[in-house]
Chain A
Amino acid sequence: MTTLRRRATLGIGPAALLAAQASWRLPLAHARGEGGTFVFGRGGDSVRLDPATITDGESARVTEQLFDTLVMFNGSSTELRPALARSWDISPDGLTYFFNLREGVRFHDGTPLDASAVKWNFDRWMDPENRWHKEALAGGVTFEYYEDYAGFSDVIRNVDAVDTNTIQVNLKSPQGPFMLNLALFAFGIISPSSANVGFDALSRNPVGTGAFKFVEWVPGDRIVLEKNTNFWGEASSLDRVVVRTIPDNAARFLALRASTIDMMEGANPEDVPNARRDRTLSVILRPSMNVAYINMNLTQKPWDDVKVRQAVSMAINRPAIVEALYGGTGTVASQLIPPSLLGWNPEVRGPQYNPDRAKQLLSEAGYPNGFTTDFWYMPVSRPYYPNPQSVAEAFASDLGKVGIRVSLKTEDWGTYLADRNALKFPIWMLGWTGDNGDTDNFLFTFFGNHRQDNSWDNAQVRALLRQGQQSADVAEREFVYKQVNAIIEQELPRIPIAHTTPPLLARSYVKGYLPHPTATEFYSTVWLDK
């Protein structure tokens, strides 16, 4: 075996590495109520319950309760703690990872969780010739998180089962956020024997090691889970969890007020102050891991001129918009990453509202009388823009005051995404919600490649982002990302608008819910104080 040393330099907090030495137990601040059914209301149904092949949050919400990953986020932070792997070792060159699995863990079907089961999962994710990989492709689905979002297909060379409880992962090149990526829902470990029934059945009858076991799925209505009494961690105090689909935001809020459901996500912004006033309800804010921004096509006039971009940024009264239209759940963004992320630069103040200076900049850019353009806004609300049309109207009003006359336009969501990828819009609204709590997941996605909706051709930034992605040194990465944020402030390829803390509304008797910035949330910590 190669000489190994434990490292705290791969984007993982030292606390997580200390925690790796100890077996994990949930911290309990209160005495917990026992039993009961927790009903969560959400806007859409799950697509399927195979964590490796899903990309939507509504499927992940359920698979997170059923499956465990090798490592997991610690409470509401993006630090890591052991999960199925009770500890891990990393080689000095950052290319070899050894995971020591927790012993005695069993899947819900009674089969053991061991190194061969974990290897089986890696093989299914990574090998296009693998039988179960091919079955999934034949079922019309792909392994997007492995292939793309986590970038593992470019990084992982192979995986071996060293012994019954040790798994070795060999990388082609170091990846800064490798461990954080492993905590993503997509890398939940499924029972190999559950795959023998075929991909269809596997997607509908999930078998993991999680705190809850799957009971039933009534499509479009509910998914029912029950407590796993053999869970390796702290068993949930809940007997049962029902995840209900209630598509309309207003109807979902009424269902919460009528106590049909215990908790909900996706409230209309105007309902949040109402919930705050209602003593029987509580508002839980999910820590921010998103950014709303304005993007521009820098390959076209007038957006190729930085003075025009600066003029736009100064024309928009961001504090007033956030105050008026975010229902108390937003903060003005100075940068394109939330303040909690590595490399957030305190010296970057972000655009300051100054319409006079904006007019002056437009004159200097050769537009003393302003200009006319189409401004595209999103047809759907997202956590970072809960009210896109109203925000777009406010933008249009502010821009009009400095002479930029915008015509507001929108189209259906799928077309909107396609058109922004094809750079068909001159200026448009969009945003991002982080997957893994790493800066790379924001900035490399935005500017790491000169393709898709990135029209900012900046080789220096691309090189810095590549360096940040491959570095194993936290200090180096922090320095790199601070530099990138400073350059972005100067060049303004996108204008940061806001970060939000998406609200979750609950009956006041719901206790112990730990909101997580990446929305990786576990119902096993919840108890009902009825």
Chain B
Amino acid sequence: MLSFTARRIAESVPVLVGVSIVVFLFLRLIPGDPALVLLGERANEQGIQRMRDAMGLNQPLHIQYWRFADRLAHGDLGRSIRTGRPVLEEAAGRFPATIELGVTALTIAVVIGVGGGVVSATWRGSVVDHAARVFSLVGISMPIFWLGLVLIWLFAVQLQWLPSDGRLDSTTRYAPRTGFVLLDAALQGRGDLAVTALRHLVLPALALSTVPMAIIARMTRSSMLEVLRQDYIRTARAKGLKEYLVTTRHALKNASLPVVTIIGLQVGFLLSGAILTETIFSWPGIGRWVFEAILNRDYPVVQGITLVVAFIFVAVNLLVDVLYAALDPRIRYR
């Protein structure tokens, strides 16, 4: 297992180098100029050249890549050409927001999705099953953009139960230690901060969790139905095992392999879904930042964050592979 993990980590290096080259080249191949975006209607040739010089964009492409790679080797993702601030520093301020949102959304999706799928499969053909299937179909089809606005309209404007946007109220002040507001609230012993943060987290996390929740529920249901037909389940029931033990200990464990794969893939969705969710709920995370960076042709930001996201994706896939072995002892790694 150890050598497998080490080999997979080593294999991810060329993947990440490849990603860096592809992103670097593609960004420069697509039309558009950061100086133009920044100058807008006022852009004239002198201004554009002056700004491109200052941004280092008038250098040959291979020199630009070499400088990028050189900095990268020293753990430096460069500076945003729009704000002039180090990418790593800006990212460090935004990643906790996205991770906090993503983990909460994934937790909601897994708990409700797996639970719903199991219930649906166990009482196949019942009203509960039909309701769960309709819900999951609607969940998959629902555009986050629209759902987000509906949630805000209902819970923030009409009922006024929850705030409409942001991570904290406009008047809340706190000194971030880790950047994870909930964790900081615990570390600083501030219940008021935790309550505010949780209230702000509910709507965006619900919106972001909808699609993965529906996918996980459907996959759990079909996987469970498959397993529940197996002979060993009949045997378990025949020997008098209680139904909940049959479901949880025998069926769910064996049905969970494809579900874990799907959950791993949902991490990728959460990162892309975060762009829309963060835009609608004004969540100051990485998704919206990268989206704006693409529009503004802020090359270093897009390059840097794509690399970090690629790294996360590789790591999650590795984790899923390792989990396979834990779930199914027959799987061996060489």
Contacts and interface: CB of A to CB of B under 8 A. Distances in A.
Given A251-B164, A251-B165, A418-B36, A37 B170 contact: yes
A158 B295 CA distance: 40
A140 B84 contact: yes
Interface stretch (B41-49, B62-70, B254-262, B325-333): B41-49
Contacts, number: 167
A418 B39 contact: no
A39 B170 contact: yes
B167 interface: yes
A63 to B, nearest CB: 14
Contacts of A250: 149
Given A219-B284, A244-B282, A200 B54 contact: no
Interface residues of B, number: 57
B188 to A, nearest CB: 17
Given A248-B279, A251-B281, A147 B50 contact: yes
- Could you tell me the dominant secondary structure of chain A's interface residues? mixed
A140 B32 contact: no
B279 A247 contact: yes
B215 interface: no
A258 B41 CA distance: 34
| Interface range, A side | 35 or more
Contacts of B280: 248, 251
Interface in B252-299: 279-282, 284-285, 288-289, 292, 295-297
A221 B167 contact: yes
Interface in A338-362: none
B56 interface: yes
Interface stretch (B13-21, B134-142, B152-160, B234-242): B152-160
A246 interface: yes
Interface in B80-110: 81-85, 90, 93-94
Interface string A401-443: 0000000000111110110010000000011110000000000
Contact of A451 (B44, B50, B164): B44
A223 to B, nearest CB: 11
A139 B84 contact: yes
Q: Which 9 pairs of residues, A with B, have the shortest CB-CB distance? A: A414-B32, A220-B284, A221-B284, A415-B31, A258-B156, A414-B37, A246-B282, A242-B170, A139-B84
Given A221-B167, A247-B292, A250-B149, 15 more contacts: A47-B83, A55-B38, A56-B38, A141-B54, A203-B84, A204-B85, A219-B289, A220-B285, A220-B289, A221-B284, A244-B170, A251-B279, A251-B281, A255-B152, A257-B157
Interface of A: 37, 39, 44, 47-48, 55-56, 137, 139-142, 144, 147-149, 199-200, 203-204, 218-222, 224, 240, 242, 244-248, 250-251, 254-255, 257-258, 260-261, 382, 411-415, 417-418, 421, 430-433, 445, 451-452
